[in-house]
Each structure stands twice: as structure tokens, then as C-alpha cells.
Structure 1
């Protein structure tokens, strides 16, 4: 089950024993974003921001057949999910393709996709080394709990761009929770809750995939709750810039790994009981890491820094809140049922 403690009981006990009052700061009111912040908002590759299915019909899926039909249709659609929908394994190892210009959004706090995952991208082709004309783009996924997939929960691949994954919950997948690879670009992952999962966020396919990945894979991660998700939060290859800010890390083996000359800008995050909060000496060639205003509590190592990293404000405006508020604000606002 997910854990969402704000004040550690052991810390509270110490304060009480000392005759002090344990005061937890009130969480500021956080209205859900109506549009993405970060790379998914950038005007690039012929797409000005990420609008999903805006302008298309709104439909509601309550069955597997309805959902699979809607996500495969051409053109913009806003697809509402009501209740729990089981995604079959079949011949696709449980991965089901989402076409361009789609918004997938759950209704209420109980929308679930169970047993399979979503694939955002055309079929893999190692010989394609630049964005194809039919690259999947402009996809929004919000307010859905995706769990129990036999492969990835969400896979973004083959030059897909302008994807916003927001206010969703991810648990118990066999491989990645959200994998972003093979030249995909301009993506924001925000206000999500990850628990009961091992290899959480992969950026970059592998160490030998520079032809597709180098210079792409620009991703923003903000206000996510890594709730005991063990590793890859995220693990990055080849990206010129991955921006990681105001995320809450709670009981992870490592937080961020930057490798293969990736540039990671980490700021305003809160790490509690994380063995390695940030690494550049990990596996493969060294990465680059800039860090500021992060808080580390009960961690075994400091955040490793190396090289220079491009300021995210080169691409987009944003406001990072103080790291001290993250353990309160993020669990209160992240995941399904919060918009």
C-alpha cells in the first residue's frame, strides 16, 4: 500500500519527549495545473505545447473494448475512464498503442488501467535516426492509476514528443513505470505517485543507442512522490537536459542517475532515507549534474555534481518552491484523485 506520512513518528516522539510541540506546516493550496509546466509546454517540432485531445469529442470508456477503440482512433479525442478497465496481454505483451492528439483522463478517484500498459510511439526501428513524419505527439495522461502491467506501465518511444503525464498513480509493473527512450522529446511528468515498483523512470534506451537518443530526451519531472520506488527516479542517458525539481524521495536505493554525458538539473527536491540521492558515476560514461536547494535527511551520500548543465529557463519559465515544503505539499497533491 502507498505510504504518505508527513511527519515521521520517530521525529515526533523525540520532540514530545523533549517537551516540544511537533508542528507540521500546513500545505499551501495547490490548484492543479491546467496546462503542463516544463518541456511539454515548449513550442518545438511543429507542436506548440501539449493540448492532447482538445477540440475533439469527449467520450467515456467503461469497458476494455471501448478504451482500446478510442485510443487507436485518428484525430483528437478526450477519453474519460470510469472505474477499472483491464488491458489484455494478448500478442502485445500487454502494451497498447495510443495515437496522437489524445487526452486520457480518469473520472474521480477510482479510474484504473490494470494488467497492461500504454505505448506512445510507432514500432521500433533501429535504422530510423531522425524523427519520422508519423511520430506520435500531443498526448496527455491524467488522473489514472496504472498497475499490474506485464511490461511497462507507460512506454514513450520512437521520437514521440509533447507528452504530459500528470496526477496519476503507478504501481506494480514488471518493468518500467514510465520509460522514455529512442529519441522521444519535450515531455513533462508531474504530480505522480510511484509506489510498490522497482525500476521507475528510464530516460534513454541503452548505452549503445546514441544515434537515436543523443541530443533529445528533454524531460521535466516535478512534484512527483517516489514512495519507496527503489531505483531509476530517473536514470538518464544522452539527454542534454533533464530537469528534476520539487520531487519527494522517500526510502529509495537511489534517486537520480545521470550517465552517458547527460545533463541533469536537480533543485528543490527533498530526499529522505535515500542511499544515493544523485549519481554521475554509475554505469557507462559519466554524466553531468547541477544541484541547488535540495534537502537530504538520513541519506548515506551527497548528491554528486560534475560539469556544466544548461539552465532550464533557457527553454521555459517555472517557479521552484522551497524544498522544506515538499514532504507536505507533494504527498497531499500527487497521484490519482487530486484534480
Structure 2
């Protein structure tokens, strides 16, 4: 079986979770320390399997971590992601990647791997974090709070913008309300989600637990799909096709085998406060004359193709005059490209996003698109924004009030159509802290 077949087998399998708790971290004796670990086998075949591991820090913040466990039946890691894996005998060590080493209190790191097995494949029964055995409890005392020092102008402790309100293009064309006040349906598997999301009747759909599936699940008009705390869609994605008035919020997507969220021939769509990582193709793709879309407060990491707007250079006849999208307060770290890559849409508004360690490029304006890149924070991004991409001809791009550190200067040129809606712009220098504190699943009140 090829590696790709193994990855796809994982995507189609049922997830069996084993929750284990509480490890100590290397910290001063007075520090509170502890973690929660969830080990999940997603799929298993004749001689191999795929698994994911979720690490939640319950103690004081840590910088840098190593998670260790021992396989009880001779299993071996063959490939991993979101961490560096090594193995000696049955003992596995997973060391943080560059983008997920800092774990605040309550912070989560998601890692995964493919492995081999023979005979049996029991789950590990114990873990250690930074060299101390997991015990099921938080130990030590919380770090003392420093005595506050009066200052003439205190800094606000909460983000200055509303992290739950709809802003941007999805407010236009009649606005986006999703299922509104319709009755709520809770779903726990892919068939129930597919059934609840079908048709055009208004519905609020709550996703509970982990839904494992493959391919794309169709979403009809007038739907709100929102995750309960910890909700995840693993192995597949949501396809908003030929629909209008759709909201997708508070979900974790990982290991999808097509796109995580695909929007085509659809209008008035809001994609908000989701976490997306480690999939096959696009994380959030918008195409085929879709219009009036807002993509906000999402966390995309450890993935290649982040956000595509307009799928083909040959589709201008359908796409021109459409593909108007707002991207704001998204966190993109450890991605390669497409943050977003834009064709035809004008104006496309990219503001107050945080880019970190982007290895390819941040924003590309191509094929006559008009993109306003405003008030973003670029950190360690050699190519933050440019005109044209690969065989796609240039669009126009206006860059203003961006904060660049360890990054290139970018390329801009031409003019962009005016923005028709009102919005509040954070100072670019504050965007990193605002976005880190507010972006991703689990960062909104349900």
C-alpha cells in the first residue's frame, strides 16, 4: 500500500479515542504543571495504521516540549506531521515543530503519524511530557501573580474588536444569517450531518465530537453549521455548492482528502473561527462566481495550499464581477502559499491577518484581480505579497499600513476598487497578539 493510500485510509476510518491525562513540564518547582493527551487511532490496515495525538497544556505556559510514550507491541512510526519524531526500540519521542512549541495554559498542539504494526496494535497506556510521567493531575502551585505596577495608561487585556460579529463582504447582498433562529439539530456522524445540511430549509446544525469521513459533504442554503467545544471533522470537508446564506463556525478540520471547505457558485457565506491543518488540497477554496464571502478569525497551520480565490485562469467569463471576499483576523502559520491567491475578484480585502513563517508567499493578486492588503502583520515571510503567480498574469494590489518583521517588502501596483462596507482596523503592530488570542476554534462564546 502506498503512503497516499495509507493517508486516505486514515481519512476514511472511524476514530477511537483514548484520553489520558496530566503530565509535568520542566518548570520551577512552584509552577503549576500538567497536560491532557488524547491518542486516536483513525484507521488500520494489514500492516499499518494512522493515529493522531492531541496535547493540551493544563499548567503554566511552556516553551518547547517533548512528548514520549512506549508502544506495547512493537509498533513503529513511519512518518509524522506537526512534530519531529524519533524512536529507539519501542520508545517514541515527538518534539515540537517551530510553529507549535509555545503552549499557553489551555493551549493545544495536534500531531499525527503513520505507523506499522504486526500481530496487534494496542494503544500506549502512559505518556510523559518534558521527561515527567503523566499522572492525571496538575501538580505544583500556580506561578504567583506579580504585584501590579500602576501605569498612566493601562493596556486593555481584551482584543479591541468584536471577535464574533460579522464584518466584510458577507454583510452585503442582503447579509448572511445562516439558519437564523431555526430549530437546532445536533449531529455526531457524517450521515446525520449530510442529512441535516441538505435542502434549502433554515437549520442550525451543531456538530458534537469527532466526525470521520472521506470526500466532501454537501451543504445547502440557509444553514448554520457550528461546532460544540472540541468538535472536529476529520478526513473530509464541507462543500457549499450552489447555495446561499451559509455560516460555518467553530470547527476543527484536519487530514481532509479533498478540500476542507469548498465554496462554489454560492453567495453570502461566512467562514469564521475554524482551525484547519494538515490536509490534502485547499483549506478554504472559493471559486466559480461565488460572491459576498467573509473568511474571519480562522487558524490555518502546517498546510501547503491555504486559501484559493478563483480556480482557473480560463474562468474569467464566469468569475469577473464576482469573487468579492473579505479575509480578516486569520492566523496563518507554517503554511506554504495562498494566503490568499486571488483571480478576477475586485475588490478583495485582506486586512488584520497574522502571517508567520510562510515558506512560499503570502498574498498573490493575479488575472486582473484587485486586492487591498491592509494592516496585516507579516513575521518571517520572505515574500509577503506580489503580482502574478506561476502562469497567471498580474492583477493589481495596494498595500498600506502593514507591519513587516523579518520579511520582504512585497510587490504592489495599480489601483483597487473601493471597499463598500464599514470596518474597524486594528493597528498593524497589535495584530499578532490580537489574532493569536482570538483566532481558531474554541475562541468564541457558544
Q: What's the TM-score bracket when you normalise by the shorter of the two chains? A: 0.7 to 0.9
Q: Answer yes or no: is the 8 Å Cα contact 1:41–1:49 preserved in 2.
A: yes
Q: Distance in 1 between matches of 2:429 and 2:177?
A: 32
> What is aligned with 2:374?
267
> Is the CA contact (8 Å cut-off) linking 2:163 and 2:297 kept in structure 1?
no
Q: Given that residues 161 and 424 in structure 2 are in contact (C-alpha distance below 8 angstroms), is that contact kept between their aligned partners in structure 1?
A: no
Give the aligned partner of residue 361 of structure 2. Answer: 254
Alignment of 1:111 with 2:231, yes or no, is yes
Residue in structure 2 matched with residue 71 of structure 1 by the alignment: 197
The match for 1:337 is: 442
The structure with higher relative contact order (CA 8 Å, sep 6+) is: 1
- What are the Cα deviations for residues 269-321 of structure 1, in whole angstroms up to 9, with x where unaligned? 0001111100014332111011111011111x312111111231xx1000110
Contact (CA 8 Å) 1:197, 1:230: kept in 2 or not? yes
Aligned residues of 2:367 and 2:388 also touching (Cα < 8 A): no
Question: Counterpart of 2:412 in 1: which secondary structure?
Answer: coil
CA gap of 1:184–1:75, structure 2 versus 1, over 3 A, is same
Q: How many angstroms apart in 2 are the aligned matches of 1:278 and 1:70?
A: 40
CA RMSD of aligned residues (A): 1.8
Partner of 1:151: 258
Distance 2:100 2:158 in 1: 20
Q: Which residue of 1 aligns with 2:47?
A: none
The residue matched to 1:276 in structure 2 has which SS? Answer: coil
CA deviation string 1:39-83 (max 9, x = no partner): 0001x2xxx110000132111112222212101143010001111
State the Cα deviation string for residues 176-199 of structure 1 (Å, max 9, x = none).
001000100000000000011100
Could you tell me how far apart the structure 2 residues matched to 1:5 and 1:28 are? 20
Residue of structure 2 equivalent to 1:19 = none
In 2, are the aligned partners of 1:35 and 1:41 still within 8 Å (CA)?
A: no
Q: Does 1:201 align with 2:307?
A: yes
Aligned ranges 1:19-34 → 2 under 5 Å: 27-29=157-159, 32-34=162-164
* CA deviation map 1:133-158 (0-9, x unaligned): xx310000000001111110011012
- The structure 2 residue matched to 1:298, chosen from 391, 394, 406, is 406
SS of match in other structure, 2:192: helix
Is 1:49 paired with 2:169? no
SS of 1:72's equivalent? coil
Distance 1:188 1:216 in 2: 13
1:254 offset after TM fit, Å?
Answer: 0.8
The equivalences for 1:1-339 within 5 A come to 1=82, 3=100, 27-29=157-159, 32-42=162-172, 44=173, 48-87=174-213, 89=214, 94-108=215-229, 110-121=230-241, 135-158=242-265, 160-252=266-358, 253-283=360-390, 284-299=392-407, 301-312=408-419, 315-339=420-444
Could you tell me which runs of 5 or more consecutive residues in structure 1 were left unpaired when the two chains were aligned.
Answer: 7-24, 122-134
C-alpha contact 2:377 2:431 (8 A) present in aligned 1: yes
In 2: Cα distance, 1:274 partner to 1:104 partner? 33
Paired residue for 1:21?
none
Structure 1 counterpart SS, 2:380 = strand
Aligned residues: 295
Q: Which secondary structure does the structure 2 equivalent of 1:86 belong to?
A: strand
Q: Secondary structure at the match of 1:116?
A: strand
In 1, Cα distance between equivalents of 2:162 and 2:375: 19
TM-score, normalised by the number of residues in structure 2? 0.64
Hey, what's the Cα distance between the residues in 1 that align with 2:422 and 2:429? 22
CA distance in 1, matches of 2:296, 2:428: 16
C-alpha distance in structure 1 between counterparts of 2:100 and 2:246, whole Å: 29
- SS of the residue corresponding to residue 208 of structure 1 reads helix
TM-score by length of 1: 0.83
In the alignment, is the contact (CA less than 8 A) between 1:280 and 1:287 conserved in 2? yes
Give, in whole Å, the separation in 1 of the partners of 2:160 and 2:346. 30
In 1, Cα distance between equivalents of 2:216 and 2:380: 34
